[in-house]
């Protein structure tokens, strides 16, 4: 086989691969990777950065743990967070319709247990935001449930 035929085979293979990728992308019916109000969230992102800096200054780190046998997510907060109010958002990158939020209840204890037995298995982004004494805190972590 001469070099001209080899170049033609490589070129046609590349064109066929690109055609397949375009066809595959056109088959998607619903793309849920961007939130409806992404522009407002981008503008307010500096507030998230400030809250993450506040979180980094706590005495210990907020710890996320998934216990597969009991199907719960446990959040362990630092002691100075007792008495805080806030929310835990479970964000599903693969399907925005499955996102849900849980209110935080750390008035008397340092941890919160969230049952996750009825949610789909796979990648989730857990976003925790809480406030205490007018100061905001924020942390997010990717978890495979």
The domain tally of the chain equals 2
Q: Are residues 58 and 7 in the same domain?
A: no
Residues 68 and 131 in one domain: yes
Q: What is the DSSP letter of 120?
A: P
Shared domain check, 111 and 56: yes
Q: Verify that 54 and 85 share a domain, yes or no.
A: yes
Residue 104 lies in domain? 38-144
| pLDDT tens sequence for the chain (145 residues) | 899 999 999 999 999 999 999 998 877 765 555 667 777 877 778 888 999 999 999 989 999 999 989 999 999 999 888 888 899 999 988 887 889 999 988 877 788 899 999 898 988 999 999 998 889 999 999 998 8
The answer to whether residues 3 and 70 belong to one domain is no
Same structural domain, 136 and 117: yes
């Amino acid at each position: 086989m001469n070099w001209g035929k080899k170049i033609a085979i490589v070129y046609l293979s590349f064109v066929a691969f690109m055609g397949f990728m375009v066809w595959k992308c056109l088959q998607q019916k619903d793309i849920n990777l961007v939130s409806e109000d992404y522009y407002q969230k981008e503008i307010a992102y500096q507030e998230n950065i400030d809250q993450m800096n506040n979180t980094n200054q706590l005495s210990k780190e907020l710890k996320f743990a998934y216990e597969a046998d009991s199907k719960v997510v446990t959040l362990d907060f630092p002691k100075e967070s007792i008495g805080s109010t806030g929310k835990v958002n479970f964000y599903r990158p693969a399907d925005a319709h499955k996102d849900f939020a849980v209110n935080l209840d750390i008035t008397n204890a340092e941890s919160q247990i969230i049952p996750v037995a009825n949610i789909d298995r796979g990648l989730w982004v857990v976003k925790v935001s809480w406030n205490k004494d007018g100061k905001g805190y924020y942390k997010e972590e990717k978890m495979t449930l």
